[in-house]
Amino acid sequence: MQKKELQEQISLLYPFLRKFRRDLHMNPESGGQEHRTAEKIVQALCSFGFSSKDITTGIAETGIVATVKGKYPGPVVMYRADMDALRNCTDLCGETYASVNENVCHACGHDVHTAIAVGVAKLLYTCREELHGTAKIFFQPSEELPLIEGQQEEFCCYTERPVGKRAAAAAVEQGILSGKDGNVVRALAMHCWPSLDVGTIGYEEKIAMAGSGNFYISLLGRGGHAGMPQASVDAIAMAAQAVDVLYTIVSRWSSPSVPLVLNIGTIRGGTRRSTVAGQVELTGTVRCAAIDYLEELVPREMEHRLKGVCESFGGEYQFEYRMDLPPVCNDEAMLAHDVYVLARMGCQVKKLTDCPMTAEDFSVLSHRVPSVFLKLGTRNRDVKTHYPLHNGHFCVDESCLAVGVEAAAAILLDDLQGLT
């Protein structure tokens, strides 16, 4: 497919993709609950001509893999898009297609990602007679939330405790990177990026996103009456000091040359104003690009400090920590070639120098096969497109749909010798 033909096909497809994306935005579903979303994806794929044998459902419960088999032998490549929405987030975008589902919202752009993947699947299927190899389009559920193993109805439950399995890992265990056509040799994904202007594709040369670890802390004191604090061990006072000393891990323990984030996201404790709290629970996350920090160094230092605080008060603690995700790594040689392909297509490509401390479970794939993770510009001059990810006001310039489809399709077509 030539550049001009690709762009013409995308122009014809754009109205459908915009309508499709708005439908997903209005009807968001959180991790493990993407049943309607999956149904809409399958309906779209079937309308393009995909048969049931080309579509595999039930990946990590609600995920889908659409397979485009080219006429000629060649490599197996994968494009991945996440499809879940944020839970406990109210849609404040103000559009006519705002979420109708209470406290569930596409504030991370996964509706955009899914629509782009649908467009990529359509374009690749249209020119399958020209392709050398196979493309797998992976619509992944539950990127935002870990899956909790157990009974079927509990599979999608979410907890602030550092437990559960990432959907990408579950999908790998189901064999999405292998098959009768061969093993996947490269993976590609992109993410909405509201700090970039629409029309721009951003990239980092090595680390595209940080890795993450999650923790749970229970500070155990001895409850009592507020009028007799000397007979109690105040868990809230312990928590106040614990927060302070934990946050200085970043500013006074870690080297400034190692980007590190430690965030305490929830604090729960106390029952009434006249009672000394006997227990306080804290949960949070650690973000870093250095795996040794995430796996060993930071949790060890956290526990050392918690022990000191609790001993000074005469209290106790429970500490649970779990490495969640490794960093998202871009394969340098593959990235260089992809950037070349995009530049040849006339795409505006921008090198990004700061490693964001956000995390993404595409990292699971990037640590198994050579991968590239791109950033899709979504902002224009309208301030409503300037809100950050995970903000209820998050809104995109919808022309990013066409930009994303062109970029992803061009790279995959080049991989499969279908771009001329």
Confidence of residue 159 (pLDDT cuts 50, 70, 90): low
Alpha helices in 64-130 (DSSP H): 110-126
The pLDDT value given to residue 155: 40
How far is CA 106 from each of CA 62, 80, 299, rounded to the nearest angstrom? 17, 17, 32
The pLDDT of residue 56: 97
Write out pLDDT tens, residues 193-231. Answer: 999 999 999 999 999 999 999 999 999 999 999 999 999
Dihedral sign of CA atoms 63, 45, 4, 131 in order = positive
Average pLDDT over residues 146-152: 59
DSSP 3-state percent helix, strand, coil across the chain (nearest 5): 35, 30, 35
Structure tokens at 318: 């429970």
Phi and psi angles of residue 308, each rounded to the nearest 5 degrees, phi first: -65, -45
pLDDT at 154: 41
pLDDT at 355: 85
Assign 145 a pLDDT band (cuts: 50, 70, 90): confident
pLDDT class of 157 with cuts at 50, 70, 90? very low
Helical residues (DSSP H) of 167-234, grouped into ranges: 167-173
Classify residue 77 as exposed, middle or buried by CB count within 10 Å of its CB (0-12, 13-18, 19+): buried
pLDDT digits (tens, 9 = 90+) for 362-389: 999 999 999 999 999 999 999 999 999 9
Distance separating alpha carbons of residues 40 and 20, to the nearest angstrom: 8
CB 356 within 8 A of CB 210: yes
153 has pLDDT over 70 = no
Q: Which two tokens stand for residue 186?
A: 């490269």
CA-to-CA distance for 382 and 393, rounded, in angstroms?
A: 13
Classify strands 371-379 and 184-197 as parallel, antiparallel or unpaired: parallel
Three-state SS at 85: strand
pLDDT over 80 (residue 295): yes
In this prediction, residues 69-90 reach a mean pLDDT of 96
CB 48 within 8 Å of CB 120: no
Residue 233's identity, in one-letter code, is V
Half-sphere exposure of 321 (CA within 13 A, CB side): 21
Pure H helices in 2-136: 3-26, 35-48, 110-126
Q: Are strands 132-140 and 72-82 parallel, antiparallel or unpaired?
A: parallel
Task: For residue 47, give every residue at least 6 positions away whose Cβ sits within 8 Å of its Cβ, in sequence order, or none.
Answer: none
pLDDT at position 151 over 70: no
Average pLDDT in the 302-330 region? 96
- Secondary structure of residue 259 in the 3-state scheme: coil
In whole angstroms, what is the distance from residue 114 CA to residue 404 CA?
11
CA-based end-to-end distance of the chain = 6
Q: Report the mean per-residue pLDDT for the chain.
A: 94
Burial of 179 (0-12, 13-18, 19+ CB in 10 A): middle
Residue at token pair 């550049």: 3
* Residue 354 pLDDT level (bands cut at 50, 70, 90): confident
What is the arithmetic mean of pLDDT over 341-350? 96
Q: How large is the average pLDDT for residues 270-296?
A: 96
For residue 80, the cross-strand partners are 138
For residue 91, name the pLDDT band (cuts at 50, 70, 90): very high
Residues in contact with 345: Cβ distance below 8 Å, sequence separation at least 6, in sequence order: 3, 6, 406, 407, 410
pLDDT of residue 158: 52
Lowest mean pLDDT among 28-42, 53-67, 153-167, 361-375: 153-167
